[in-house]
Amino acid sequence: MKEVKSKDEYTDFKEVKKLTEDELKELNDCIQKLNSIQMQIGGIESQKFELLNLISSANEELKEVQKSLETTYGAVNIDISTGEIVEQEKESEPNTED
pLDDT in tens, 25-76: 999 999 999 999 999 999 999 999 999 999 999 999 999 999 999 999 999 9
Burial class (CB in 10 A: 0-12, 13-18, 19+), 78: middle
Asked if residues 85 and 77 have their Cβ atoms less than 8 Å apart, the reply is: yes
The pTM is what? 0.56
What residue segments make up the domains of the chain, in order of their start?
Answer: 20-73
Residues 12-31: tens digit of each pLDDT:
678 889 999 999 999 999 99
Residue 76: Cβ within 10 Å count = 13
> How far apart, in Å, are the Cα atoms of 47 and each of 26, 37, 50, 54, 85?
32, 15, 5, 10, 38
87 forms bridges with which residues in the sheet?
76
Give Cα separations from 45 to 35, 58, 59 (angstroms): 15, 20, 21
Contact status, residue 76 vs residue 89, Cβ threshold 8 Å: no
